[in-house]
Structure 1
């Protein structure tokens, strides 16, 4: 398995975990709402109102995670390019990036990669740039040394 395939697999695993965590949280909140409704005959909605708010937030997070999963399914690991694009590993003199989705830090084979979105600020600086392009980000001067 190539490094790009392994990075994509890790991204998918992390998103799957997020999806499962949100589903579990939603189920817990639903159970709490049901038990609050059964035990609450005076019409005091303060507890269930917060629970409904939490339910709504978690359902939104779950929806976002599902969209990320769908987005990741569009990444092709066998495409080569001379310019940084979705699915590429972009190495700079400062750090390594994997252009996929905003997953964060991934440690793999004694290397550190940062899975970033095309739409993130750093993603916008990288996208469509070839090797030897330089740019500044967070007061660091980066030079693209390799695109895989």
Structure 2
């Protein structure tokens, strides 16, 4: 398995876990609401209001995670490009980036990569850059040593 495939797999595992966690939380909240409805007293209305807010928030998070999953499906690990784009590994003199989704640090084969979104501030700086390009982020100068 290539490094790109391993990185994409890690991203998918992360998003799949988030989706499963949100679905589980939504189910627990629905069960709590149903349980409160059976006891139906006026004191439970405030509790149900909080539960409904929690349910709504978790459904929004689930929707976002599902969109991220769809976004990751667009990444093709077999495409080589000299310009940084979705699915690229960008190695610099300071750190390595994987342009995919914002999940942060990933360790693969004794190397560290930072999974970032193309829409993030640093993702926007990396977009369409190639080997030997220089960019500045957080008052640090980065030299791109390789785009895979």
Same fold, TM-score > 0.5, yes or no = yes
Write the deviation string for residues 24-78 of structure 1: whole angstroms up to 9, x where unpaired.
0000000111111111223641100000000000000000101100110110001
The Cα of 1:136 is off from its aligned counterpart by 1.1
Write the deviation string for residues 90-128 of structure 1: whole angstroms up to 9, x where unpaired.
000000000011111101111110000000000000010
Mapped partners of 1:106, 1:9: distance in 2? 11
The Cα of 1:130 is off from its aligned counterpart by 1.1
**How many correspondences in the alignment?**
148
Residues 36, 44 of structure 2: 8 Å contact kept: no
Secondary structure at 1:45's aligned position in 2? Answer: helix
Mapped partners of 1:40, 1:110: distance in 2? 56
Which TM-score applies when normalising by structure 2?
Answer: 0.97
Residues 19, 66 of structure 2: 8 Å contact kept: yes
Runs of 4+ in 1 over 2 A off after TM superposition: 40-44
Mapped partners of 1:40, 1:112: distance in 2? 53
CA RMSD after TM alignment: 1.0
Mapped partners of 2:116, 2:42: distance in 1? 50
Which residue in 2 is equivalent to 1:8? 8
Stretches of structure 2 lacking an aligned partner (at least 5 in a row): none
Which residue in 1 is equivalent to 2:82? 82
Stretches of structure 1 lacking an aligned partner (at least 5 in a row): none
Write the deviation string for residues 8-27 of structure 1: whole angstroms up to 9, x where unpaired.
01100110000000000000
